[in-house]
A and B are shown apart, each in its own frame.
Chain A
């Protein structure tokens, strides 16, 4: 069983008489424990695909199985709970709530999905330390730098120990050194708790660390490189 499996997912944006195929028949299989990177030109549909896979958006057609459950069949309520339980998301924009401090922003997912006896303190300490935000926890987002905000957003995505983490350019706002450190943390966590990582990135250095690289082109997803090295893209694929 795959942790994530999509079948012919389609998402179109229709406006009057023009249609944009943001995601065009994407079938993707991701195994437990895998680290997937998605690259592609701007506007090629990476964020759209990621949002659909994370259950944040609904596809026009196709099926998405996460841990064997078809999330397109779930109602919004079940889906929300499911997301809280198994998935973590880092958005392209950091999307922190301005009225809450960094700490409060981080624990929102823990509060939102009532897990009985769920203790996150230990975990919280570890990730905030690794993300180097443990000294800024009581500041409001507006008092943090762009990179710090992004790291808070990453901590928020990790707090519930999701089995699968979707990250849309998590290192976009970070300098090279920080970017690498954040990625190392993610990989580290992945090893510890067996997380699956799906990352959209522009940074080829980061993509290189992944088990597989997919390339998005005009809504179509193609395998770019797998474990064994570069794979030739077939012309018509």
Chain B
């Protein structure tokens, strides 16, 4: 233990000495570590706060785990009795509230019963379903829905996962940043490490010296960073009416993750250094480690053209300039990419998800009258019914003109003019479907499908990306499966299977005209809407709808939605009551709107944007850190130049040229990088997540692009040119060794 204390003590002393002596040299690390800690503590405080707020909000609004709607008198008493049964079986339920419609004497008395499980709600519900549900159903139809309180654990866990992800991103980026800075620093001035290794320091020792330097710094910046992030969080929270809480736990987490970042980045940098020989490290008192040795000497000092001369010097230092420009521009592009992600986040938030789902059981199915009935409720703004058949499962496909097919489409060549494609969903179109499609981006006349049996509506996308280029008026052919001549011996998938079918199955084709094209649909398969007759001919089924989703006005509060839900069920019950009272319609409250409000209050989007701005700050830091220390080590060059007769104007011109070249280079790289990154995110989000509820758009956030470009160019320019000021201020006229 004593040894351990000595160890800490010695390392700490050595590090503190280094840090305080080289305060200026370490100033960058102070800033960087401060920012990293600010970032980390913002994340932990947000995590803390949002989780707490979510929990409070849910507990405030819901006092029960599930609600049984529209129970009759017998059911009510049965449920009450259950509470005592439960008591005897060591399971506890509590009847929180009973909302009554009419008085018990009336023959049509009904009530809503809210129940709270005293144990784990999932277990409690399962026990209930096993033991008591059959009896309850025998007494009358049962409509039960769980509340967000039931999902509380899950919801809170989701918060943890979310923030775990944010932590991961922050830690990775911070490590990257600190690692790059450290590599730049140690490549430039590996001298110190050279001395250490020459006198017997192994990798562990080297690691220790660097690690402790940063540890000392992070200890000094920890509290200020946490206080600043507390203020920042307070401002954000005040916007959405949340309270924030900062505790020791946040301090601990921030410190802990800072340690991880420091350890990882120092480890990366030291591993790079430890591979070098002491001699090569020792030669790096100046910038010699960065210099790329030339084949022949250029005529540097006789060059009258500053630009040419500077370009020559750029080539010599290309390793350095490439490292600095690439790493700082990378962060700037990551910033824009983060801004784009924020945009996607809001895009997802604006996508409307259904609030209720109605499922028909038995022989019942959704009809036109039901649509009218649901829409007659105040607050319900749309219905969406689903019934489709894929071409694949019918052994069928469609033929599309080659001229309308992108190279990326998974088609199989049929003949010279057309290709076969089977990732198609067939839908039957009626006035309600057409009405819903009206809301999506389309060209052509949607209602034509209702009027002519040979006209269809087709989408141009599948797997969330556009693969076809249809126009209204084009024709496609639908294949009808007749007979299989042989079956594949081995299981086949995708285009192989389609190819096999084309060769070994018999089809006949019917040509149909495209009446309208749906663009940028978010779907796994290509959608093809056809008249009910054609649908029946293609699939052999009459369209029948078993589930329908109901959309509500997104301005409704969760209280109003609860009311709406119980209204739907109550009236539904009156109108659709079966003679034998059996359950045939089940309505489920998906709690979408509540979840949406919850997501909104977390300000995740804003926080992502804030993180992106930090990442942009990383880029600025790299510029200034690298450039200032690089030129400082190069100052002899300028002192020498003035000694041989260069006047300040000439030297200013040199710096100016340097700054200009770098600015232009970084602007170009920034544009290229961010385009590539954003496209990659766009592609991944649409095609790799298999989430076919949202179709993200590809768009460069213009204002932020210019903001990023401005800051990148400015810091590239200033970080270079500022060295001229430093040079002018220094009174050194004699080059030192």
Q: For B199, give its contact among A77, A93, A112 (CB under 8 Å).
A: A112
**Contact A112 B279, beta carbon cutoff 8 Å:** no
Interface hit among A60-68, A94-102, A174-182, A190-198? A94-102
**Contact A77 B282, beta carbon cutoff 8 Å:** no
Interface hit among A30-38, A78-86, A223-231? A78-86
**A145, CB-defined interface residue at 8 Å:** no
Residues of A within 8 A of B277 (CB): 56-58, 76
Q: For B14, give its contact among A16, A58, A109, A111 (CB under 8 Å).
A: A111
**Contact A84 B201, beta carbon cutoff 8 Å:** yes
In the bound complex, how far is the Cα of B346 from the Cα of A60, in angstroms?
60
Residues of A within 8 A of B291 (CB): none
Residues of B within 8 A of A165 (CB): none
- Give residues of chain B (416-475) contacting chain A, Cβ–Cβ below 8 Å: none
* Chain A: CB-nearest residue to B737: A93
**B21, CB-defined interface residue at 8 Å:** yes
Q: For A83, give its contact among B191, B198, B279 (CB under 8 Å).
A: B198
Residues of B within 8 A of A76 (CB): 197, 202-203, 274-275, 277
**Contact B199 A83, beta carbon cutoff 8 Å:** yes
**B22, CB-defined interface residue at 8 Å:** yes
In the bound complex, how far is the Cα of B297 from the Cα of A15, in angstroms?
12
**A46, CB-defined interface residue at 8 Å:** no
B286 to chain A, nearest CB (A): 12
**Contact B22 A57, beta carbon cutoff 8 Å:** no
In the bound complex, how far is the Cα of B275 from the Cα of A82, in angstroms?
16
B5 to chain A, nearest CB (A): 16
Contact A111 to B10, CB < 8 A, known contacts A77-B274, A97-B195: yes
* Chain B: CB-nearest residue to A100: B17
**Contact A80 B279, beta carbon cutoff 8 Å:** no
In the bound complex, how far is the Cα of B191 from the Cα of A90, in angstroms?
15
* Chain A: CB-nearest residue to B276: A76
Q: Mark A22-65, 1 if CB is under 8 A from B, else 0.
A: 00000000000000000000000000000100101110000000
Residues of B within 8 A of A89 (CB): 198-199
Contact A81 to B200, CB < 8 A, known contacts A56-B278, A58-B277, A95-B282: yes
* Chain A: CB-nearest residue to B281: A56
Contact A112 to B196, CB < 8 A, known contacts A77-B203, A77-B274, A80-B201: yes
In the bound complex, how far is the Cα of B293 from the Cα of A83, in angstroms?
30
Residues of A within 8 A of B293 (CB): 15
**A220, CB-defined interface residue at 8 Å:** no
Give the size of the chain A interface in residues (CB under 8 angstroms): 32
In the bound complex, how far is the Cα of B737 from the Cα of A95, in angstroms?
10
Residues of A within 8 A of B22 (CB): 99
Q: Mark B324-351, 1 if CB is under 8 A from A, else 0.
A: 0000000000000000000000000000
**Contact A57 B200, beta carbon cutoff 8 Å:** no
Q: Which one of A56, A95, A112 has the highest number of Cβ atoms from chain B below 10 Å of its Cβ?
A: A112
Q: For B17, give its contact among A15, A80, A99 (CB under 8 Å).
A: A99
Q: For A80, give its contact among B191, B197, B282, B737 (CB under 8 Å).
A: B197
Residues of A within 8 A of B199 (CB): 83-84, 89, 108-109, 112-113, 156, 160
**B192, CB-defined interface residue at 8 Å:** yes
**B205, CB-defined interface residue at 8 Å:** yes
Residues of A within 8 A of B554 (CB): none
**Contact A108 B275, beta carbon cutoff 8 Å:** no
* Chain A: CB-nearest residue to B192: A97
Q: Mark B192-235, 1 if CB is under 8 A from A, else 0.
A: 10111111111111000000000000000000000000000000
In the bound complex, how far is the Cα of B198 from the Cα of A84, in angstroms?
8
**B636, CB-defined interface residue at 8 Å:** no
- Give residues of chain A (92-141) contacting chain B, Cβ–Cβ below 8 Å: 93, 95, 97, 99-100, 104, 108-109, 111-114
Contact A95 to B191, CB < 8 A, known contacts A16-B295, A108-B196, A111-B14: yes
**B18, CB-defined interface residue at 8 Å:** yes
Residues of A within 8 A of B10 (CB): 111
**Contact B279 A51, beta carbon cutoff 8 Å:** yes
**Contact A112 B205, beta carbon cutoff 8 Å:** yes
Q: Mark B265-306, 1 if CB is under 8 A from A, else 0.
A: 000000000110111101000000000010100000000000
**Contact B21 A99, beta carbon cutoff 8 Å:** yes
Residues of B within 8 A of A93 (CB): 737
Q: Which one of A15, A16, A80 has the highest number of Cβ atoms from chain B below 10 Å of its Cβ?
A: A80
Q: For A56, give its contact among B203, B205, B274, B279 (CB under 8 Å).
A: B279
**Contact B200 A109, beta carbon cutoff 8 Å:** yes
Contact A84 to B200, CB < 8 A, known contacts A15-B293, A100-B17, A111-B14: yes
Residues of B within 8 A of A156 (CB): 199
In the bound complex, how far is the Cα of B277 from the Cα of A99, in angstroms?
23
In the bound complex, how far is the Cα of B274 from the Cα of A83, in angstroms?
15
Residues of A within 8 A of B14 (CB): 111
Residues of A within 8 A of B205 (CB): 80, 112-114
**Contact A77 B202, beta carbon cutoff 8 Å:** yes
In the bound complex, how far is the Cα of B607 from the Cα of A39, in angstroms?
67
* Chain B: CB-nearest residue to A15: B293
**Contact A81 B202, beta carbon cutoff 8 Å:** yes
In the bound complex, how far is the Cα of B200 from the Cα of A114, in angstroms?
9
In the bound complex, how far is the Cα of B6 from the Cα of A114, in angstroms?
13
Q: For B200, give its contact among A16, A85, A99 (CB under 8 Å).
A: A85
Residues of B within 8 A of A57 (CB): 277-280
Residues of A within 8 A of B274 (CB): 76-77
A81 to chain B, nearest CB (A): 5
Residues of B within 8 A of A54 (CB): 198
Q: Which one of B194, B195, B199, B275 has the highest number of Cβ atoms from chain A below 10 Å of its Cβ?
A: B199
Residues of B within 8 A of A84 (CB): 199-201
* Chain A: CB-nearest residue to B201: A112
**Contact B18 A80, beta carbon cutoff 8 Å:** no
In the bound complex, how far is the Cα of B201 from the Cα of A73, in angstroms?
18
Q: Which one of B18, B196, B203, B280 has the highest number of Cβ atoms from chain A below 10 Å of its Cβ?
A: B196
Contact A91 to B200, CB < 8 A, known contacts A76-B274, A97-B195, A111-B10: no
Q: Mark A164-206, 1 if CB is under 8 A from B, else 0.
A: 0000000000000000000000000000000000000000000
**Contact B203 A95, beta carbon cutoff 8 Å:** no
Residues of B within 8 A of A77 (CB): 202-204, 274
* Chain B: CB-nearest residue to A115: B200
In the bound complex, how far is the Cα of B21 from the Cα of A67, in angstroms?
40
Residues of A within 8 A of B278 (CB): 56-57
**Contact A113 B201, beta carbon cutoff 8 Å:** yes
* Chain A: CB-nearest residue to B293: A15
B349 to chain A, nearest CB (A): 53
B256 to chain A, nearest CB (A): 27
Contact A80 to B195, CB < 8 A, known contacts A15-B293, A56-B277: no
Contact A112 to B18, CB < 8 A, known contacts A77-B274, A93-B737: no
Residues of B within 8 A of A108 (CB): 195-196, 199
- Give residues of chain B (542-556) contacting chain A, Cβ–Cβ below 8 Å: none
B183 to chain A, nearest CB (A): 17
Residues of A within 8 A of B21 (CB): 99
Residues of B within 8 A of A91 (CB): 198, 282
In the bound complex, how far is the Cα of B199 from the Cα of A108, in angstroms?
7
Residues of A within 8 A of B737 (CB): 93
Q: Mark A6-21, 1 if CB is under 8 A from B, else 0.
A: 0000000001100000
Q: Name 5 A/B residue pairs within 8 A (Cβ), A-sorted.
A: A76-B274, A95-B191, A100-B17, A112-B196, A160-B200
- The interface of chain A, by Cβ under 8 A from chain B, is 15-16, 51, 54, 56-58, 76-78, 80-85, 89, 91, 93, 95, 97, 99-100, 104, 108-109, 111-114, 156, 160
* Apart from A80-B202, A112-B200: 5 A-B pairs, beta carbons within 8 A: A16-B295, A57-B277, A76-B274, A108-B196, A111-B14
Q: 5 nearest interchain CB pairs?
A: A84-B200, A113-B200, A109-B199, A99-B21, A112-B201
- The interface of chain B, by Cβ under 8 A from chain A, is 10, 14, 17-18, 21-22, 191-192, 194-205, 274-275, 277-280, 282, 293, 295, 737
